[in-house]
Structure 1
Amino acid sequence: MHMTTTEVFLIAIAIIFSVPYLVWRIFKTDYYAPLVVVQIMMGIVLGPGVLGKYFPAYFDFVFNKEVVQSLSGIAWWGVMIFVCVAGVELDLKRTWQNRKESGLTAGLALGVPLVLGGIVAAAMLNYPGWIGAKGQNWQFVVGMGMSCAVTALPILILLMEKLEMLRTPMGQRILRYASLDDIAIWGVLAIVMMDWIRIGRQAAFLLLFVVATWGFRRLMQALDERDRWYIAVIWLAIVAFGADWSGLHYMVGAFLAGVVMDAHWFSEEKLDNLRRDLLLVMMPVYFLSTGLKTNFDVGGLAVFLVAAVLLVVSVVGKLAGVHLAGRILKWGRGEASFIGWLLQTKALIMIIFVNVLLDKEIISNTTFTALLLMAVGSTMLSIPRVSPMLKRDPELVQRDV
């Protein structure tokens, strides 16, 4: 029976939304793997490395070229909005007020795993199949190092909401550290993405962005909230286009579009609802699109081995950096471990980060797969590690600097 592209597309959509939800509900994975993590894992399962390998005819039928193109468009727009919202939620004023303590903690939490991850990446360069076709050695090393250092601010917010600690003093401290790391992540990505052939375009974009931001902010301050939402979406599309046109990638543009907006311009409740709605109706499509890029060609065992090494480096590096900050700043007992484990959340932002590296062919599909597995493993460790700490010391969330 012949089916139209629309019909096959709707079959794909049904699979994308139903399979992760059923796994999450039936197996009650929420403690170890929230729905967003299950969606990422199911993206891998539904991709060519698993479903495509064992059921190639079915995979080629459902995820044919036309359907994948349609899914990609939804995924691009959904993730751009998501990254923009993450930029809006960065409270730079509060971070600046605590800049010494926040800067030291965020710097060590980011720097130690970045260096350790870079060392592992340098070793990987000795073996074929890991670096992308257009990647330079320094881009590969820095990109891999940053992948080990990432903390996913949006997922961190979701987990802290689950633990009922988001608005507590400890919750706000952790958000400050993660916010600074988020800024560093996109800054490093912009450097890695620099296209020296198009350096003139990039300089022109950044100059125009600064000028346009001044006018944009004045306009937004003069509007009521209802109009701000519409203008924000238009602003996002324009800035993302400019960044991609210049060679910096549309994700860098999406973050820049959000970070120059003030969170108080919008209702906090509406921002929270938008983030949840995106996770419900659009981001699962992005996770599936991510899964379609997974590859185990270098060898399944090698991919899992590299993923395990990167996971150890990422976890140990993050904990070591935070503990070092705790010693310098003389934190109370248990604070460093609690903060360090919550900052292990990597899913989403790291996946977006490595998708960009893959798009630019700085890493290979095989490396992308190993990083994806590492991100899932790291994120799954957070709740099981911090929940017992909260049970032993419920007052931990009330501690401030």
Structure 2
Amino acid sequence: MHAMSTTEVFLIAMAIIFFVPYVLWRLGRTDYFAPLVVVQIITGILLGPGVLGKAYPQYYEFVFTADVVKTLNGLAWWAVMLFVMIAGIELDLRKAWEKRRESGITAGLALSVPMALGAVVAVAMLGFPGWIGDKGLPWQFVVGVGMACAVTALPILILLMEKLELLRTPMGQRILRYASLDDVAIWGVLALVLMDWQRIGRQGLFLVAFGIACVLFRRLMPKLPERDRWFVALVWLAVCALGADWCGLHFMVGAFLAGVVMDAHWFDQEKLDGLRHNVLLVMMPVFFLSTGLKTAWSMGGAAVFLAAAALLVASVAGKLLGVRLAGRILGWAPGEASMIGWLLQTKALIMIIFANVLLDKAIITSAMFTALLLMAIGSTMLTVPVVAPKLRRLARAPGTREELAPAAG
């Protein structure tokens, strides 16, 4: 009998990664409550060791050998680095600065309130074994989990607002401003959580070198033809990620920094949009599968689901409360705060990436990672079914019609 090579088994794994979620999404017609990316994340969990691997261990041991998993992880790293870099490029902080009072109040409350509630849940979980990682300090665990509850997934938010025909409206642009500011804060808090005081010299050296390199990089890029900027950007991404990982932060922090110092107008917007969609189509499913392989149910399904439910309540309630407070301060029309809050509580990719970093650094355990992953899935699946009727009601209200009309040009 022919013994399959690593290449052949790898290709079987790739076929499974792309075939299974697509069939579930298409035949199940889940797009209204679970976009394809959410189905891919769920499929990654089902294909992992805790579900299908436990039911059919021979299948799991045959397909996901050590060599195949290493290869998949390498692809997943590059996929998520590209995705995070693009998210950084697409941040438009100039618009947020132009309307800094409104943006600052809303983004601040939308971030701080769910973070505080998530931190309360995290403190309660510290009283039980199995949630905090071997290398995690209590404050890192509490701040990390709290921030995971406050995350808004900007790239997924864009996809959902496109589906709701909200993206190109004045209100859609407002929501993107709030999410953009929170995105910057998220990665700043992550960098703080990952600070290694035993390697502070390396981290200081990286930040100084990065600052100098940014000045040179930003002078170079506008002088290059656009076709060359894409190649230079990829080299810049690899170097920044390497530097961040070398100094004890994480390559994902470096990937975000690489993107955030780039200006979107350096690139053709259609090509940038195409790259984001192609990364989601071609590369990110591998990341979702790789993420699913990290899930664990060793504490028992009931405990993990209970933790996920508590985190989801803290996340959603905190986001709605924070945005409602902002709406009262800024005098928004009735119903605006509720709709904006539900959109900003969308988690999905960015929170999963954030949780992956916490897991890689052993700040959280696999069980905690699984609870956060389930919370992210629940958060994202709630968004469109809850927001769509609210959006229809707002569209009929005289005070908000102009905000929901497509922007001119």
TM-score, normalised relative to structure 2:
0.97
User: C-alpha separation between the residues in 2 aligned to 1:294 and 1:365?
Assistant: 6
Partner of 2:20: 19
Question: Residue 362 of structure 1 aligns to a residue in which SS?
Answer: coil
CA distance in 1, matches of 2:29, 2:392: 21
Assess if the C-alpha contact under 8 Å between 1:151 and 1:178 holds in 2.
Answer: yes
Give the superposition deviation at 1:299: 1.1
Structure 2: distance between partners of 1:155 and 1:342? 10
> Is the CA contact (8 Å cut-off) linking 2:17 and 2:285 kept in structure 1?
yes
* Counterparts of 1:295 and 1:367, CA distance in 2: 9
Post-superposition shift, 1:123? 0.6
- 2:325 partner letter: L
Q: Distance in 1 between matches of 2:205 and 2:68?
A: 36
The runs of 5 or more residues in structure 1 that have no matched partner are: none
**Distance in 1 of aligned mates of 2:48 and 2:111:** 31
**Cα offset, 1:399, TM superposition:** 2.1
Deviation of residue 248 (structure 1)? 0.8
Deviations 1:232-289 (A, max 9, x none): 0010000110000001100000000000000111111111111100010000000000
Q: Secondary structure at the match of 2:30?
A: coil
Does residue 280 (structure 1) correspond to residue 284 (structure 2)? The answer is: no
The 5-angstrom pairing of residues 20-35 of structure 1 reads 20-35=21-36
Retained in 2: the 8 A contact 1:168–1:397? no
Structure 1's 23 and 397: CA in aligned 2 closer, same or farther, altered over 3 A? farther
- State the shift of 1:144 in Å: 0.4
CA distance in 1, matches of 2:250, 2:391: 40
In the alignment, the residues of structure 2 paired with residue 135 and residue 389 of structure 1 have an alpha-carbon distance, to the nearest angstrom, of 41
Task: Name the CA distance, whole Å, in 1 between partners of 2:136 and 2:200.
Answer: 18
| Whole-angstrom CA distance in 2 between matches of 1:8 and 1:159 | 35
Query: In structure 1, what is the equivalent of residue 307 of structure 2?
Result: 306
- Please give the secondary structure, in 2, of the residue aligned with 1:31: coil
What percent of counterpart residues are identical?
70
Shift of 1:393: 3.0
- Residue 111 of structure 1 corresponds to 112
With over 3 angstroms needed to count, the CA separation of the structure-2 counterparts of 1:13 and 1:327, relative to structure 1, is same
Matches within 5 A, 1:42-57: 42-57=43-58
CA contact 1:171–1:397 (8 Å) conserved in 2: no
Q: Which amino acid aligns with 1:255?
A: F
For the residues of structure 2 that align with 1:170 and 1:63, how far apart are their CA atoms? 45
What value does the CA root-mean-square deviation take over the aligned residues? 0.9
Distance 1:100 1:61 in 2: 57
Tell me if the contact between 1:249 and 1:356 (Cα under 8 Å) persists in the aligned partners.
Answer: yes
Q: Distance in 2 between matches of 1:36 and 1:240?
A: 25
Measured in 2, the distance between the counterparts of 1:284 and 1:52 equals: 18
Show the counterpart of 1:91. 92
1:121-160 equivalent positions in 2, closer than 5 A: 121-160=122-161
In structure 1, distance between residues paired with 2:403 and 2:361: 43
Q: Distance in 1 between matches of 2:346 and 2:286?
A: 21
Corresponding letter in the other structure for 2:223: A
Contact 2:336–2:394 (CA under 8 A) maintained in structure 1? no
In 1, Cα distance between equivalents of 2:329 and 2:46 = 44
Report the 3-state secondary structure (helix = DSSP H, G, I; strand = E; otherwise coil) of the residue aligned with 1:127.
coil
1:370 is aligned to 371
Q: Say which SS state the counterpart of residue 3 (structure 1) adopts.
A: coil
* AA at the equivalent of 2:226: E
**Matched residue, 1:271:** 272
Aligned mates of 1:214, 1:139 — CA distance in 2: 32
Q: Structure 1, residues 310-333: CA drift from partner, whole Å, max 9, x if none?
A: 111110000000000000000011
After TM superposition, the structure 1 = structure 2 runs for residues 161-200 of structure 1, keeping only pairs within 5 Å, are 161-200=162-201
- Kept in 2, the 8 Å contact 1:165–1:397? The answer is no
Q: Which amino acid aligns with 2:309?
A: A
The 2-side partners of 1:371 and 1:8 are apart by 30
Q: Which amino acid aligns with 2:218?
A: R
Give every structure 1 segment of 4 or more consecutive aligned residues whose post-TM-superposition deviation is greater than 3 Å: 395-398
Number of matched pairs: 400
- Give distance in 2, aligned partners of 1:306 and 1:36: 23
Supply the distance in 1 between the matched residues of 2:279 and 2:335 (Cα, whole angstroms): 35
Answer whether contact 1:24 1:35 (CA < 8 A) is retained: yes
Quote how far apart the aligned CAs of 1:115 are: 0.4
Deviations 1:105-159 (A, max 9, x none): 0010010010000011001001000000110000000000001000000000111
Give the match for residue 399 of structure 1: 403
Provide, for residues 359-399 of structure 1, a one-character-per-residue CA deviation record: whole Å limited to 9, x for no partner.
Answer: 00000000000000000000111100111122223264742
User: d(CA) in 1 for partners of 2:89 and 2:324?
Assistant: 29
- What is the distance in 2 between the residues matched to 1:175 and 1:266? 20
Cα deviation, residue 164, structure 1 = 1.6
2:290 aligned residue = 289
Structure 1 equivalent of residue 259 of structure 2:
258
**1:230 is matched with which residue?**
231
Q: Does the aligned pair in 2 maintain the 1:170–1:397 contact within 8 Å?
A: no
**Residue identity in the other structure for 2:265:** H
Residue 381 (str. 1) matches residue 385 (str. 2): no
Amino acid in structure 2 at the alignment position of 1:306: A
Residue of structure 1 in register with 2:407 after alignment: none
Query: Which region of structure 1 is more displaced relative to structure 2, 389-398 or 35-44?
Result: 389-398
Q: What is the Cα deviation at residue 215 of structure 1?
A: 0.4
Measure the CA separation in 2 of the matches of 1:169 and 1:29: 29
Distance 1:382 1:186 in 2: 23
Contact 1:169–1:397 (CA under 8 A) maintained in structure 2 = no
| Distance in 1 of aligned mates of 2:37 and 2:312 | 19
Which residue identity does 2:250 align to in structure 1?
H
Question: CA, structure 1 residues 92+397, in 2 after alignment: closer, same or farther (shift >3 Å)?
Answer: farther
Report the equivalent of 2:361. Answer: 360
